[in-house]
Chains A and B, each alone.
Chain A
Amino acid sequence: MALDPVKQVSGTGVFIPGADIDTDRIIPARFMKCVTFDGLGEFAFYDVRFDSETGKKTSHPLNDERFKDASILIAGVNFGCGSSREHAPQSLRKYGFNAVIAESFAEIFYGNSTTLAMPCVMAAADDIAALRAAVESDPTTEITIDVEALRVRSSSGLDFAVKMPESAREALVSGRWDPIQELLDNDAAINDRAKALHYV
C-alpha cells in the first residue's frame, strides 16, 4: 500500500481565533450520529458558523467570502483538545483543509490528522500573528508549508521555521502517514509479543 509522500502543502489560509479550540467545537457531537465519515465537511465548526436561533451565518472567518478557498487553517494554542473523535480532522479534511499551522496541538488530534495526511506544524506566536496579518490583509496570500525542511513561506515575504515531531515529519515525507501496512507486516513480532503477555 504505497502512499503519496506529503513533502509540501500550498494554498491560501484562514485564521481561526481562540485558544484551546476543542474537537466538540470543530465537530459538534450530534453530527457524529453516522456510520461513515462522508458528509462531515459541511458541519465543520457548525455551531460557531451558524446562529443557533436564527440559523443565519455568523461573522466566523469560515463564513467570510474572502476565505472560502482557504485550505490551510491557522490557529492558536492547544488546537484540537478534548475528545479523541477522528470526526474532527475528518471534517476539516472534507471541508477542504490540507494542513494546520498553530502554536500548539493536542496530542490525539495531532496523531489523527497525521494519519489522514494533514500535516500540523507548530509555529511561534509572533510568526502566527504575522501570518494572520498577512492573510487578513490579503486573503490571496499563498502559503507554502515545506514539511521536509520545516519552514513556512508566504507570497507576502514571510519565511519562518516550524516544528513537528520527527516521527510525524518522517511519516509524511516518506509516505508512511497511515501506518497500517507496516503494522501488518510485523505480524510475527506481534505474535511473539502476545505470547509473552500473561493476560492475552
Chain B
Amino acid sequence: MGKSLFQKVWDSHRVGTLGDGRTQLFIGTHLIHEVTSPQAFGMLRDLGLKVKFPQRTFATIDHIVPTENQDQPADPLAAEMIDAIRKNCDDFGITYFDLKSGKQGIVHVVGPEQGITQPGTTIACGDSHTATHGAFGAIAFGIGTSQVRDVLATQTIALQEMKVRRIEVNGNLRPGVYAKDVILHIIRLLGANGGIGYAYEYAGDVFDRMSMEERMTVCNMSIEGGARCGYVNPDAKTIAYLQGRPYVDNKNFEETAARWLSFASDADAHFDDIVKIAAEDIEPTVTWGISPDAGISITENIPDPLTAPSPEQKASIEEALAYMKLPAGTPIQGVKIDVAFLGSCTNGRISDFREVAKYIKGHKVAANVKAIAVPGSQIVAIQCEQEGIPEIFREAGFEWRAAGCSMCLAMNPDKLIGDQLCASSSNRNFKGRQGSPTGRTILMSPVMVAAAAIKGEITDAREIFDLTESAAVA
C-alpha cells in the first residue's frame, strides 16, 4: 500500500509522540500577521523564550491595512498592532515584508509569490485560510495564538493526525464555471462540518487542469467545509510556478523539483474516504444564507423552510433568511445588492483581476452600487498596473484600492454599513463578517461579482458576458 501526500509529509515532519498521544509535528514554514501574533510574542517574552528558527518565520501585515492609503492606519489601535509586529520581527530577527518592501500583501498571496510556499512542507499560520498553500502540495493549516507561540519557541506543535478524504472532480466544467464554484459546490455537498478531522486531497482532471491560482482558490476554502487543510498533488504546473521565485533553491532546482514531485500521493495510496463529483454538475454557485455551505446554483430558488427535511434544518433556514432578509422559495437572481467586493485570499490574485477585466470593458457598475477591487498583494497590484487593469476597473466604475484583506473581514476601514448586501468574492458569509453587525454577504466567483455590480443585483454572469471562452479550466 502506497502513501498519500499527507502521510508522506506527516511522516517526514514527525518529531515524536507526546504524552497525550498527539504528534509533535515540525512546522517547516511559519507565516505570521499582525492580528494573531502579538499575544504570542507576549507569551514568549513572559516565558523568557527565544524564537528557535527565526529564518523559518515570515511576516507581513494584511488584516488591518487601510486600502485607500496604506500608510495611514485608521486608528491608534491599528497603528499599535503594526508597530508591534515591526518591533517583534526586529527583536527576534524575523523576515518582515512591510509596506515599503513592495512585497506586502495578504499572507496567503505573499507566501506563494515569494516561493516560500513549497511542496512537501508543513506550513502553519495563525489564520484559518492557511490551507491555501496546500495548492502546492504542502500540508498547511491554521493555528491559534498559543500555537503561534509554540512554533516560535520550538518550530513544532502538538497535533492530532488527520484522516484523508480524496475529492475527485472529473469531467469538463461548463463555460462560466470557475474554481470558486467548484469549492462552493463541494462545501454545499459535504457541509460546513463535513471535513472535521479530515485533510482534503483535491484530485481528478479538473484540478489537474487548473492553474496554480485556481488551485489556491479551492484549497483556500477547505476550512469552510470543516477541513483544516486541503491540498493538490504537485505536478509540472507547480514546478513551473515556483521556478525562479526568490525563496526557491534555484541553484539546485532540478534536484529540488524532483524531491517536490516525490511527495505526490502514490497511485495505490490509502484514503479514509473518497468522494466523486462530476464537473458537469457544477453550476455558477452563490450563497443565500449565513454559512458557506448554504449554496445554490444561480438558476435555483432560495430554499423554503417549509420543505426542510427536519425541524433543525427548518429553524436553521428560517434564521438565515431572517438575517439575510431574503424571501423563501424565490429566485436568488434579481436580489438587489449595495456593494460589490472583489479581492481576498480566495480571489485576489492576478488571474482574478485579468479575468474580470476581460469582461467588464464597455460596462458600468450600477448607479446604486459601491464596487471595490482590492489586489491581494503589492506585487499583484504592480502586475495589474503593468497590464492597464486598474484603468479598466475605474472606467467601469470600480474603486481601485491597495493590497490587504479589506472587506473580507473588515478589520480596516472597508466595511458594510447597516444591512447593506454585498456580492463578494471572499470566503465567509457569516453574520456580521463584513464589518456591520447586520451586513449581508453573498459569496460567488469574481466574474459573478462583476456581473452583479453591473446589473445591481444577483445575476447569472453568463447572461451579461459572453463566457463561452471563459478562462476557467479549459
A116's closest neighbor in chain B, by CB?
A: B146
Q: A29 contacts B153, CB within 8 Å? A: no
Which one, A108, A180, A194, contacts B153 given CB within 8 A?
A180
Residues from 173 to 200 in A contacting B, C-beta threshold 8 Å:
174, 176, 178-180, 182-184, 186-187, 189-190, 193-194, 196-200
Instruction: Report Cα–Cα, A112/B64, bound state, in Å.
Output: 23
Instruction: Report Cα–Cα, A106/B192, bound state, in Å.
Output: 9
21 contacts between A and B (CB under 8 A): A18-B316, A19-B291, A25-B430, A34-B38, A34-B77, A81-B291, A84-B127, A84-B130, A84-B223, A85-B126, A86-B126, A87-B145, A107-B197, A115-B146, A178-B146, A183-B153, A183-B157, A189-B16, A190-B26, A190-B155, A197-B13
Between B35, B84, B159, the greatest number of chain A beta carbons within 10 A of the residue's beta carbon is seen for B35
Which one, A30, A108, A189, contacts B128 given CB within 8 A?
A108
Asked if B370 lies at the interface with its beta carbon under 8 angstroms from chain A, I say no
- With A19-B316, A82-B428 as known contacts, state yes or no: A200 contacts B158, CB within 8 Å: no
- Of B172-180, B233-241, B435-443, B457-465, the one touching chain A: B435-443
Which one, B14, B159, B226, contacts A106 given CB within 8 A?
B226
- Of A7-15, A143-151, A160-168, the one touching chain B: A160-168
Asked if B211 lies at the interface with its beta carbon under 8 angstroms from chain A, I say no
Residues of A within 8 A of B12 (CB): 196-197
Q: B226 contacts A25, CB within 8 Å? A: no
Asked if A156 lies at the interface with its beta carbon under 8 angstroms from chain B, I say no
Asked if A35 lies at the interface with its beta carbon under 8 angstroms from chain B, I say yes
Q: B13 contacts A193, CB within 8 Å? A: yes
Q: A104 contacts B150, CB within 8 Å? A: no
CB distance from B309 to the nearest CB of A (A): 14
CB distance from A153 to the nearest CB of B (A): 25
Residues of A within 8 A of B467 (CB): none
- With A82-B128, A84-B127, A186-B24 as known contacts, state yes or no: A179 contacts B150, CB within 8 Å: yes
Q: B42 contacts A168, CB within 8 Å? A: no
Q: A78 contacts B196, CB within 8 Å? A: yes
CB distance from B157 to the nearest CB of A (A): 7
Q: B36 contacts A171, CB within 8 Å? A: no
Asked if B431 lies at the interface with its beta carbon under 8 angstroms from chain A, I say yes
A197's closest neighbor in chain B, by CB?
A: B28
Instruction: Report Cα–Cα, A158/B399, bound state, in Å.
Output: 58
Q: A35 contacts B39, CB within 8 Å? A: yes
Residues from 1 to 56 in A contacting B, C-beta threshold 8 Å:
17-20, 22, 24-25, 28-30, 32-37, 47-48, 52
B149's closest neighbor in chain A, by CB?
A: A180
Asked if A77 lies at the interface with its beta carbon under 8 angstroms from chain B, I say yes
Q: B144 contacts A36, CB within 8 Å? A: no
Instruction: Report Cα–Cα, A176/B154, bound state, in Å.
Output: 17
Map CB proximity to A onto B2-37 as digits: 1 under 8 Å, 0 otherwise.
Answer: 000000000011111011111010101100000110
Instruction: Report Cα–Cα, A111/B130, bound state, in Å.
Output: 16
Asked if A170 lies at the interface with its beta carbon under 8 angstroms from chain B, I say yes
Map CB proximity to A onto B264-275 as digits: 1 under 8 Å, 0 otherwise.
Answer: 000000000000
Q: A190 contacts B77, CB within 8 Å? A: no
Q: B144 contacts A176, CB within 8 Å? A: no
Q: A170 contacts B19, CB within 8 Å? A: yes
B76's closest neighbor in chain A, by CB?
A: A33
- With A18-B319, A24-B431, A25-B432 as known contacts, state yes or no: A190 contacts B150, CB within 8 Å: no
Between B12, B24, B159, the greatest number of chain A beta carbons within 10 A of the residue's beta carbon is seen for B24
Additional A-B contacts beyond A170-B21, A200-B28 (20; CB < 8 A): A17-B315, A19-B316, A33-B81, A35-B84, A36-B39, A52-B437, A82-B430, A84-B36, A85-B35, A85-B144, A86-B36, A89-B144, A107-B228, A108-B142, A167-B20, A167-B22, A171-B20, A180-B149, A186-B24, A198-B256
Asked if B344 lies at the interface with its beta carbon under 8 angstroms from chain A, I say no
Which one, A24, A33, A111, contacts B433 given CB within 8 A?
A24
Residues of A within 8 A of B192 (CB): 20, 78, 81
Instruction: Report Cα–Cα, A40/B20, bound state, in Å.
Output: 30
Q: A84 contacts B15, CB within 8 Å? A: no
Residues of B within 8 A of A34 (CB): 38, 77, 81
Q: A193 contacts B26, CB within 8 Å? A: yes
Instruction: Report Cα–Cα, A82/B26, bound state, in Å.
Output: 24
Give me the 6 closest cross-chain CB pairs, A-B, nearest first.
A84-B142, A112-B144, A86-B144, A52-B437, A47-B437, A78-B193
Between A78, A106, A182, A183, the greatest number of chain B beta carbons within 10 A of the residue's beta carbon is seen for A183
